Amino acid sequence: MSLYAQRGVSAQKEEVHQATEKLDKGLFPNAFCKIYPDYLGGDARWVNLMHADGAGTKSILAYLYWKETGDLSVWKGIARDAIAMNLDDLLCVGIYDNLLFSSTIDRNKKNIPGEVLTAIIHGSQEFFDELQTYGVGIRYLGGETADVGDVVRTIAVNGTMAARWPKDKLVTNDKIVAGDVIVGFASAGQATYETEYNGGLGSNGLTSARHDVLGKTYGARFPESYDTSLDDGVVYIGRHRMTDPVEIPGAGGLTTDIGHLLLSPTRTYAPLLKEMLTGYFDQIHGLVHCSGGGQTKCMKYLPGSFKVIKDNLFEPPLVFRLIQEASGSDDREMYQVFNMGHRLEVFTDAVTAGAMVELGRRFGIEAQVVGRVEAASQPSLELNLKGGIVTY
């Protein structure tokens, strides 16, 4: 059994999918988000969408860093995580404007004071204001903030995003065909709209990241930060403290600390995708946000029986190497849990791919053709890695 499973987490969410398998799949079953008719406006030319997501257990990392350093700014990053995880999913069906957001924050008041709530709520509005300058409009409708100490030990930061959108401006993934190439956009580095280096971890796999990288001292000092029923052999098995300095390879001597490497706010691709969706809409055959499920995520959204081959993946950023070294996880598990270097995939034709790569670079985001789509008798995924070929 993998360490991920031993910690009570499922990368593929098998039980969730089993519980929801009989639900209506919406108008476009292959789309990245469920799409419904325009019940709000009653117009057949429009659709309605609603999506819920959050920062997951990344909020526990913020808690540990804040407790150790007193730095409240990490909570603004958690606010961005909860928003970006919703926004970038909706971007993958083509929506980039006129969005509504409602937050849900559950806290243990004993451990999470009002100043943390203030940082999260103000951080949310600041993020919305920044996005507006790139033509990505989101209205903050408030939400629910509850003191539920019997339910959570620290804090859970989540949100719901809704939109009404023209049906003829949707990306449904139904246009993906054999012969398409896949353009990947890096999750790490520093985009033109980011203020510091981004480690690239995002908001998935944080249970493993936390326990694999950080040392036993965190379990001893902060038992509220983990499930105390877990076997001690999978709890905080790393060798680092949050404040340990680390140099970023290939970044000209840039240094940060382990905490900031793990807590880098989930990169939103909103400024990039807004330009891509308005400039290359007809050439976008499919969009995938490599969140939960990592590099296997694309297999859920193919419109037919295809073989996806990824044979030019990014070199995994430092944070993933640290996690793999500490955990001893094999490549198969790492690429199934983490994005491993790119979190956005665009399926397009080979001619347009070059223009999309250049557009990414104009935003300071590394981009490259990472793979291709081939016809097949049954769906499969092949990752060509330095350690060999991994198939799913």
The pTM of the full predicted model, rounded to 2 decimals, is 0.94
Average pLDDT of span 250-264:
93
CB atoms within 10 A of CB 369: 19
Percent residues over pLDDT 70 in the chain: 95
Residue 7 in this model has a pLDDT that exceeds 90: no
Q: For 125-182, what is each residue's pLDDT tens digit?
A: 999 999 999 999 999 999 999 999 999 999 999 999 999 999 999 999 999 999 999 9
Q: For residue 208, is it within any domain?
A: no
Q: Which of 14-18, 20-24, 84-88 has the lowest mean pLDDT?
A: 14-18
Number of structural domains in the chain: 1
pLDDT reported for residue 209? 94
Cβ proximity of 236 and 214 under 8 Å: yes
> Phi/psi zone of residue 388: left (φ > 0), alpha (ψ -120 to 50 degrees), beta?
left
Domain with 347 in it? 3-195+264-391
Q: Rounded CA gap, 160 and 182, in Å? A: 29
pLDDT reported for residue 3? 65
Cβ proximity of 235 and 211 under 8 Å: yes
The CA R_g of the chain, rounded to the nearest whole Å, is 20
Q: Residue 63: which of 221, 230, 174, 290 has the closest Cα? A: 221
| Tokens found for residue 354 | 């070059």
Q: For residue 155, is it within any domain?
A: yes
Residue 210 in this model has a pLDDT that exceeds 90: yes
CATH number at residue 185: 3.30.1330.10
pLDDT reported for residue 19? 67
Cβ proximity of 376 and 305 under 8 Å: yes
- pLDDT bucket at 11, cuts 50 / 70 / 90: low
3-class secondary structure per residue, the chain: CCHHHHCCCCCCCHHHHHHHCCCCCCCCCCCCCCCEECCCCCCCCEEEEEEEEECCCHHHHHHHHHHHHCCCHHHHHHHHHHHHHHHHHHHCCCCCCCEEEEEEEEECCCCCCHHHHHHHHHHHHHHHHHHHCCCCCEEEEEEEEEECCCCCCCEEEEEEEEEEEEHHHCCCCCCCCCCCEEEEEECCECCCCCCCCECCCCCCCHHHHHHHHECCHHHHHCHHHCCCCCCHHHCCCCCECCCCEEECCCCCCCEEEHHHHHHCCCCCCHHHHHHHHHHCHHHCCEEEECCCCHHHHHHHHCCCCEEEEECCCCCCCHHHHHHHHHHCCCHHHHHHHCCCCEEEEEEECHHHHHHHHHHHHHCCCCEEEEEEEEECCCCEEEEEECCEEEEC
| Tokens found for residue 77 | 């990053």
- pLDDT bucket at 22, cuts 50 / 70 / 90: confident
| Tokens found for residue 154 | 């620290």
Residue 289 pairs with which residues in a beta bridge? 344
Residue 4 in this model has a pLDDT that exceeds 90: no
Q: Residue 159: which of 109, 107, 84 has the closest Cα? A: 84
Q: For residue 340, is it within any domain?
A: yes
pLDDT reported for residue 252? 85
CB atoms within 10 A of CB 36: 14
Q: For residue 346, is it within any domain?
A: yes
Q: For 270-282, what is each residue's pLDDT tens digit?
A: 999 999 999 999 9
Residue 324 pairs with which residues in a beta bridge? none
Question: Whole-number mean pLDDT of the chain?
Answer: 95
Average pLDDT of span 339-364:
98
Q: Which of 122-136, 175-189, 244-258 has the lowest mean pLDDT?
A: 244-258
Q: For residue 227, is it within any domain?
A: no
- What sign for the dihedral angle of Cα 68, 69, 73, 77? negative
For tokens 């079953």, name the residue: 29
Q: For residue 45, is it within any domain?
A: yes
Q: For residue 69, is it within any domain?
A: yes
Q: For residue 220, is it within any domain?
A: no
For tokens 């709209």, name the residue: 193
Q: Rounded CA gap, 278 and 297, in Å? A: 25
Average pLDDT of span 283-309:
97
Q: Rounded CA gap, 8 and 228, in Å? A: 12
